[in-house]
């Protein structure tokens, strides 16, 4: 019986996801074009993915890009990832999605000619940004 569970996301920019993983300190391996990488799970079980996040020595998190939607899905044996890496699926996806959204907003702000003036993280770990623009 497989222990792997898949979690859908709205992540569509794989390069931005790689930036987020690096920022959060996750080592990962990206498959070569047309290839897949193996993701380790319970009792030596494996599944294939487009990218593997090395969350612990024994268990990993896979990332697949859905061909139809272009969205990333995370696949892992979340119970054992939590036991060995110290974070659960909800914490992992919340943190990755938060940083992904942050970088998406930051990129859009710059594209539209705004300047990021200030950013703060509150006691609930929410990010608040202040932007400005000079009128013509």
Q: Considering only CA atoms, which of 56, 100, 52 is closest in space to residue 81?
A: 56
What number is the average pLDDT over the span 32-58? 93
Spatial separation of the C-alpha atoms in residues 32 and 27, rounded to whole Å: 16
DSSP 8-state code for residue 69: T
- pLDDT at residue number 1: 45
Q: Considering only CA atoms, which of 82, 92, 77 is closest in space to residue 9?
A: 92
pLDDT tens digits, 75-105: 999 999 999 888 899 999 999 999 999 999 9
Spatial separation of the C-alpha atoms in residues 28 and 13, rounded to whole Å: 16
Determine whether 89 is exposed, middle or buried from the number of CB atoms within 10 Å of its CB (0-12, 13-18, 19+).
Answer: middle
Spatial separation of the C-alpha atoms in residues 127 and 125, rounded to whole Å: 6
pLDDT tens digits, 1-44: 457 888 888 888 889 999 999 999 999 999 998 899 999 998 88
């Amino acid at each position: 019986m497989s222990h792997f569970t898949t979690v859908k996301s709205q992540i569509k920019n794989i390069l931005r996801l790689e930036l987020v993983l690096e920022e959060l300190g996750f080592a990962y391996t990206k498959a070569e074009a047309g290839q897949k990488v193996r993701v380790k799970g319970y009792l030596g079980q494996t599944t294939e993915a487009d990218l593997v996040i090395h969350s612990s020595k024994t268990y990993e998190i896979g990332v697949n890009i859905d061909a139809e939607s272009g969205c990333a899905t995370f696949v892992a044996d979340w119970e054992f990832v939590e036991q060995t890496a110290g974070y659960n699926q909800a914490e992992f996806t919340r943190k990755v999605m938060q940083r992904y959204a942050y970088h998406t907003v930051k990129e859009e702000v710059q594209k539209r000619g705004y300047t990021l003036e200030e950013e703060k993280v509150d006691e609930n770990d929410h990010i608040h940004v202040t932007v400005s623009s000079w009128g013509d």
